Each structure stands twice: as structure tokens, then as C-alpha cells.
Amino acid sequence: MMKKGIVIALFLISNMVFAQDQYTKGMQKAFQLWGDGKSAEASNMFERIANAEMDNWLPYYYVAQIDTIVSFGEKDKEKLTQQLEKAQAYLDLAKNIAPDNPEITVQQAMTYTAWIAFDGATYGMTLSGKVAALYSKALAMAPDNPRVVFSKAEWDMGSAAYFGQDTTPYCKDVERALELFDTFKAASDFHPNWGKDRAEMTLKNCNK
């Protein structure tokens, strides 16, 4: 009986290691595709991983992130709507897995911002308040997360510029975000770790 139990335990462990290995390879491949500029292929790869890893919020998050990023600057409303509706669907699934997650909260704000960037007159009135509230919520949850601090500062700067106000007061928040980027350690190789380069560019523009 004991021998049989050991065999079963080893079988379960080997299955877990194999599944983990498949996940790691899949995520690495998806990031490689994305890095090569193949956004659609990367999104599809993350989608397949999400279907296999139904209790892991990360692949859902990256589908939403890619489909949001490619929507900035998109002029075709039908294509934009398709991309952002897909992003929203995957964000909702990520939220179900990891509610009150600051990274997902920031991504939700960015998805709303893509709508505003497409048509501020139509979507600004309904979504701007939601974006500001999401950044405040994320900051309350994770005041030392560099992406939260920087993304909120970037939004505040954009809002100030839109209303013809001085953006300089928010430069100190960008500086603080950069300090946080220097000490931030992502929970794994696949957890969100973006933003430092954009924060550096923003700070350079602050000092002009």
C-alpha cells in the first residue's frame, strides 16, 4: 500500500511539474512574440494559456493589456470596439480570480483611457471620473507600487494639460515612482514589471 501511495504521489508531482513547465514555456513564447511586435499572435497565445490556467489572473491580464495598448491611436471604431470589448471581457475574468488587485485596477483604468483617447467628447464625460477613482483606489491598495504611482501621475498630468493647468506639481510623483521602480521586485518573471522607461521619458519632459 505504501509503495502504491508513493507511486501515486510521484505521478501527481510529475504531472504538476509538466503543467508548470508548459505554462512557463507558453508564457515565455507569448512574451517573445510580443517583444517581436507580433501583438495579435501574443494575445492569442496568452488567451490559450488563460484557457488552460483558469485560476491564474496573469494570462487574462496580458490579453487585456495587449488589446488595450494596440487600441491607442486606432481610428477604426469597429476594430477599436472589438479590441476593447475583448480587453474588458478578459479584465472581468482576471478580476474574478484576483479581486482588489492593484495591477488589474490600473489596467482597467488604462482600458477606459483608451476609449477616452479615441473620442474624448463621447467617452470623457462618462469614464474620466471612473479612471480617477480607479487610480485613487489602486493607490490606497498599493501606495508603494511604482506602476500605480506613475500611472496615476501620468493620468493627473494628462487631465491638467487638458484643462490648461500646470502639470509640474505631478513631476514629484513621477520622481517617486522612479525611486520605487529601483527597489520593486516582481513576484515572478511573469508578473507586471513595466513602466520604468516611460516614467524616465516623462521625467525628462518634466525638466524641459
Q: Does domain 1-119 have CATH number 1.10.10.10?
A: no
In tens, the pLDDT along 9-36 reads: 444 444 454 456 899 999 999 999 999 9
Matching residue, cell 491638467: 160
Closest CA to 101 of 148, 52, 133: 148
For residue 21, the model assigns a pLDDT of 83
pTM score, two decimals? Answer: 0.89
The answer to whether residue 151 scores a pLDDT higher than 50 is: yes
Could you tell me the three cell numbers for 73? 491611436
